Amino acid sequence: MPELPELEVTKEFLQEHVVGRRIEKVEVLQPIVVRSLTDLEFTSLEGQAFTEVGRRGKYLIFSLDALYLVINPMLSGRLYFCLSAERRLAKTFVIWHLQSGIDLRYVDERQMGKIYLTPDLSLVPGFAMQGPEALEVTFEAFKERLKRHRGEMKGVLINQAFVAGIGNAYADEILFRARVYPFQRRPGLTGEETRRVYEAMRAVLEESIATIRERMGDQIHLKFRDFLAVHGKGGSPCPRCGTSISEVRARGRLTDFCRSCQPGIMIGHSRSLRG
């Protein structure tokens, strides 16, 4: 799932390369992912130009004349920026043919993402309920917002109503950096641990953005995760202490962590996969 770091760098690239380009044609190849929240069809964008590209949480926002095109890629949605002559992938759902022979394509292997056409961002499902951006919230606001939650820390971090932009992968990285057990319930978190989680959140996201920015180029469809410390590394040695990284399926998601650096006891049913 694309998260804040990938989407932030994608936004930067698109802001530079698609803003000002006229949309010559729109092809909706498979309409299952598109939702018009206005009386207009997606083809009504033909002849218009993107005026700005933004990001809010895990949504990419393309501004046009009096309308927004909002993409929520969910689990497997990807944007491809390529020449119009390039071969289309099987799971290509929408193509915006731009001037100068350039395509912006939406591809989604699991067809879970959504693309909205709307005059009002608040009409997009889930958009208005988002908390502050993870890289914009102050420590005091973070600490106060945290008091409203009583669940496990990983679940709190990926709750978009708490802070916006963090998903499964970067929650693992943040908690590893902070040395906090991912299944630690929030009321048991100490003041020092709260500070560590906040500082780790900022550091992990900022460092990841910098790394992806260096490596992505125009390959905005690629997912760079090999540099992460624990996420996706189940069974590998912990980069901090050498203990085998544990990978657990719990609460409907995979969690990777180090049992030595992040000790704790899970309450409730779970199934360990590695480590």
Q: Is 233 a catalytic residue?
A: no
Rounded CA separation 94/87 (Å):
14
Please answer whether residues 3 and 59 qualify as being in contact, where contact means their C-beta atoms are separated by less than 8 angstroms: no
Task: Say if 98 falls within a structural domain.
Answer: yes
Q: Which element (helix H / strand E) includes 97? A: strand 92-98
Whether 130 maps to a domain, the answer reads no
Residues 218, 186 share a domain: yes
Q: Which domain holds residue 151?
A: 139-274
Q: Are residues 182 and 95 in the same domain?
A: no
Q: Which of 25, 225, 253, 259 is catalytic?
A: 253
Catalytic residue among 2, 5, 73, 182: 2
Given 11, 55, 58, 233, the catalytic residue: 58
Q: pTM for this structure?
A: 0.94
Query: What is the β-pairing status of strands 114-118 and 34-36?
Result: parallel
DSSP code of 270? -
Strand partners, 104: 81, 96
The strand pair at 59-63 and 68-72 is best described as: antiparallel
Same domain, 234 and 193: yes
Q: Are 239 and 229 in contact (CB under 8 A)?
A: yes
Tens-of-pLDDT digits for all 275 residues of the chain? 899 999 999 999 999 999 999 999 999 999 999 999 999 999 999 999 999 999 999 999 999 999 999 999 998 999 999 999 999 999 999 999 999 999 999 999 999 999 999 999 999 999 999 999 999 999 999 999 999 999 999 999 999 999 999 999 999 999 999 999 999 999 999 999 999 999 999 999 999 999 999 999 999 999 889 999 999 999 999 999 999 999 999 878 999 999 999 999 876 644 445 55
Largest separation between any pair of C-alpha atoms in the chain: 58
Catalytic-residue membership of 271: no
To the query of whether residue 253 is one of the catalytic residues in this protein, the response is yes
User: Tokens representing 56?
Assistant: 């809010």
147 counts as catalytic: no
The answer to the question of residue 112 being in a domain is yes
The total number of structural domains in the chain stands at 2
Question: Under the phi-then-psi rule, with left for phi > 0, alpha for psi from -120 to 50, and beta for the rest, what region is 66?
Answer: left
Same domain, 159 and 184: yes
CATH classification at residue 20:
3.20.190.10
Report the run of H or E that residue 116 belongs to, with start and end. strand 114-118
Residue 213 is inside which H or E element, if any?
helix 191-216
